[in-house]
């Protein structure tokens, strides 16, 4: 995540016709990062969402608890 003011500045510069590469060079951030904000994929100040690392095991854990209600959490 870049600072909110940088993201807003990137959007403003894009609206003025600057290319993503020009904006990235000017603000000192990676082009991919600038593109995320310019395309509207992420709002300024919004952190990146991380994939849930437990998600692949959630079904298994639910089945284990359902099959053995006396199973302890620890």
User: CATH number for the domain including 29?
Assistant: 1.10.10.60
Q: Establish if 57 belongs to a structural domain.
A: no
Q: By residue range, what is the domain housing residue 7?
A: 1-45
The backbone torsions φ and ψ at residue 45, rounded to the nearest 5 degrees and listed phi first, read 85, -5
- In the chain, the N- to C-terminal Cα span, in Å, equals 35
Please tell me the predicted confidence (pLDDT) of residue 55: 79
CB hemisphere CA count around 30 (13 angstroms): 5
* pLDDT tens digits, 8-34: 999 999 999 999 999 999 999 999 999
Mean confidence (pLDDT) of the chain: 88
Q: Which two tokens stand for residue 12?
A: 């403003």
Q: Establish if 69 belongs to a structural domain.
A: no
- The percent of residues above 90 in pLDDT, for the chain, comes to 50
The backbone torsions φ and ψ at residue 24, rounded to the nearest 5 degrees and listed phi first, read -60, -45
Please tell me the predicted confidence (pLDDT) of residue 74: 62
pLDDT at residue 58 tops 80:
yes
Number of domains forming the structure of the chain: 1
Q: What is the pTM of this model?
A: 0.63
Please tell me the predicted confidence (pLDDT) of residue 54: 80
Dihedral (CA of 61, 66, 67, 73) sign:
positive
Please tell me the predicted confidence (pLDDT) of residue 18: 98
Q: Establish if 54 belongs to a structural domain.
A: no
């Amino acid at each position: 995540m870049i600072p909110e003011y940088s993201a807003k500045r990137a959007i403003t510069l894009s609206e003025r016709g600057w290319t993503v590469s020009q904006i990235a060079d000017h603000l000192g951030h990676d082009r991919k990062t600038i593109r995320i904000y310019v395309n509207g994929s992420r709002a300024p100040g919004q952190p990146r969402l991380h994939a849930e690392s437990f998600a692949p095991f959630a079904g298994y854990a639910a089945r284990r608890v359902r099959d053995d209600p006396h199973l302890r959490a620890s």
